[in-house]
Amino acid sequence: MRKTIFDDGFHSYLVEGARFVGDAGIPMLMDLNNTQIPKGLIPFTKAKRSTNKRNYVHFYQHDKYFSSVLTYTKEYVDLLKQYDGVITPDPTLFVGNSKCLLETSTYFNRAVGFYLQKQGIPVIPNIRWTDENSYDFCFLGVPKHSIVSISTHGCCRSYAEKKRLRSGISKMLEVLEPSGIIVHGHMPDSVFKDYLSAASFYRFPSEFELTHQSMEAKTNGINL
């Protein structure tokens, strides 16, 4: 009979040897000194067919496109090893969701990252929060003074979203004191301008931006 995710303790092999931190029991990532600011980012859905391996693979996409990485992580190690590194998965966190579900998303973010680290893959932790109610667990498992990554794609559409993003960045800087912050997506001044002197930010356009730029270029007869 085919096993399910419940049959082995939610893939407990992912965290064998891990140290768990906080009341939520989030796996602690190992030393991150083998990471670097990426030369480029590539979404997981393009990783199989891309010929340029000098990128970090990211999961800033709809959960349905990378859910198999959370449940069948072993099967993707050989693929991910071909790249410079990986930004840990980005399971969706919804404001107002059960705290248990939010903590589970953070758990798998770190658990997959820890497992990939054990396979020798450089890993940059993706940091994701909802509002201040998530601050007691969403930064757990990440060594201080490391390179981290965030995505603003889909998080800057309203005043409330920008406020939550701004507040979370402030708290992240306080708790993790990152050596560098990768930003996937836009960096609106209303959110970032007060923090630019507090850390080094490195912006990478989202796939939506790149597609839009490509369409505009074709419309204007420009070869990118």
Could you report the per-residue pLDDT of 179-190, keeping only the tens digit for each? 999 999 999 999
Q: Do the domain assignments include residue 82? A: yes
Q: Do the domain assignments include residue 94? A: yes
DSSP-assigned beta bridge partners for residue 58: 43
Stated pTM of the model: 0.90
**Residue 87 main-chain phi, psi, to 5 deg:** -95, 130
Strand 147-151 versus strand 180-184 pairing type: parallel
Residue 59 near residue 126 (C-beta atoms within 8 A): yes
CA 33 – CA 140 distance, rounded (Å): 18
Domain that holds residue 35: 20-219
Instruction: Print burial letters for 111-132: b (CB count within 10 Å at least 16), e (below 16).
Output: bbbbbbbbeebbbbbbbbbbee
39: Cβ contacts below 8 Å, ≥ 6 apart: 54, 55, 84
pLDDT interval class at 156 (50, 70, 90): confident
Q: What percent of the chain has pLDDT over 70?
A: 90
Q: How many domains does the chain have?
A: 1
Render 92-119 in DSSP notation, one character per residue.
---TTS-HHHHHHHHHHHHHHHHHHHHT
Per-residue pLDDT, 209 = 77
Residue 160: both structure tokens together: 């409330």
Checking phi first, is residue 97 left (phi over 0); if not, alpha (psi -120 to 50) or beta? beta
Q: Do the domain assignments include residue 159? A: yes
CA 100 – CA 103 distance, rounded (Å): 5
Q: Do the domain assignments include residue 5? A: no
Q: Do the domain assignments include residue 8? A: no
Q: Do the domain assignments include residue 12? A: no
H or E segment at 213? helix 207-219
pLDDT interval class at 217 (50, 70, 90): very low
Q: Do the domain assignments include residue 1? A: no
For range 1-17, the mean pLDDT: 72
For range 96-121, the mean pLDDT: 94
Residue 27: both structure tokens together: 């796996």
Lowest mean pLDDT among 97-106, 122-131, 162-171, 213-222: 213-222
Q: Do the domain assignments include residue 4? A: no
